[in-house]
Structure 1
Amino acid sequence: MKKFKTAKESRLSITELMLPSHSNFGGKVHGGHILSLMDQIAFACASKHSQAYCVTASVNRVDFLNPIEVGELVTLRASINFTGRTSMVVGVRVESENVTTGDTKHCNSSYFTMVAKGEGGKNLPVPGLIIKDKQGMRRFARSKERKLSAFKRDSKYDTKNFKVEEYLEYLENENVKMDLD
């Protein structure tokens, strides 16, 4: 296995026709179906990069920007944005295309942290990332910043560290009522 790989070596895309069976009660494609496709391509991209079975450790923010209609083609693109010792951040972009007009729209983007697994479920080291351009550097830096922010946020709100008094002002003008014992 190579010690380092470019994002291009693991980049993948898939296109799928959205069928009536993929729709929700509102007649649009169900978000859960899109999330499942996103997880599948993130798995494939991470597995291709690491040459190992991978699992989803976390998904960072999924915003549904535009609805997807039944009958549209959905294209998902996945690329390695960041590599740690045993984990990778896979950027996934979703676009839909109206087959009759050719109009395309960005539906969502998200970031999946995937971990390479070996025998007995042990974490495996993954190849590092070769950054070739400014875009690659931006993606790597953004992923690193996102990871650091999540750690700070998680520790800040840890039960042992949390002080109610410091957050009372957060409740002002909110649809909430304090009724602590």
Structure 2
Amino acid sequence: MERAFKTIKESQVTITQLMLPSNSNFSGKIHGGFILSLMDQIAFACASKHSRNYCVTASVNKVDFLNPIEVGELVTLKASINYTGNTSMVVGVRVESENIQTGKKKHCNSSYFTMVAKDENGKNVSVPGIIIETEQGVRRFARSIARQEQAKNRTSQFKQSEFKMDNHLEGLKLHNVKLELK
């Protein structure tokens, strides 16, 4: 069977939502957990649109909240497929807020969601590859590969059977920690 391919544009998704007081935290800013939930929803929509299957979130790569979001602002989330594996996809999600009175826009955060396509029985299913048409697309695909390699290295370096405590004790002295090893 020949593998299918789709352009990145075919599965891009954008949503805009007004931020309500019910979405705020104790300091009056929009709750980070609410934004994470929206990000997960749009990553799901993008991955499902690309794969034409139900998708689950396998991992989320680093979420840095760069700017607070105010009640009354419009928040726009943009999702795009950055990488396709056999059954998984990396979805890049960008979050921007806009003050509707001034028109000022802020980049609030970006993150990468690894989504896995599932069939009706919950088994992993192959996904179409992506057709890359821009230098930005090549950069995003290559960055996804590099992130996967870094994750593998982190996992093996700190695996309990491989971890060597003595290699790390000196470095801990530079941090806010008190060792009382028994």
Q: Shared topology, TM-score over 0.5?
A: yes
Quote the RMSD (CA, aligned, Å): 1.1
The gaps in structure 2 that reach 5 residues or longer are none
Greater Cα offset, 112-121 or 81-90: 112-121
2:139 matched residue in structure 1: 138
The gaps in structure 1 that reach 5 residues or longer are none
1:153 matched residue in structure 2: 154
SS at match of 2:33: helix
**Superposition map of 1:156-167 within 5 A:** 156-167=157-168
Residues 72-127 of structure 1 deviation map (CA, whole Å, 9 limit, x = unaligned) = 00000000000000000000000000000000000000000000001321000000
Shift of the alpha carbon at 1:173? 2.1
1:32 matched residue in structure 2: 33
1:92 corresponds to 2:66: no
SS at match of 1:105: strand
- TM-score, normalised by the number of residues in structure 2: 0.97
Residues 133-178 of structure 1 deviation map (CA, whole Å, 9 limit, x = unaligned) = 1000000000110011001100110000000001112212211111
2:128 matched residue in structure 1: 127
Equivalenced residue count is: 181
Partner letter of residue 12 of structure 1?
A: V
| C-alpha distance in structure 2 between counterparts of 1:173 and 1:3, whole Å | 52
Runs of 4+ in 1 over 3 A off after TM superposition: none
| C-alpha distance in structure 2 between counterparts of 1:144 and 1:11, whole Å | 20
Partner letter of residue 176 of structure 1?
A: V
What percent of counterpart residues are identical?
69
| C-alpha distance in structure 2 between counterparts of 1:154 and 1:74, whole Å | 35
- TM-score, normalised by the number of residues in structure 1: 0.98
Partner letter of residue 139 of structure 2?
A: R
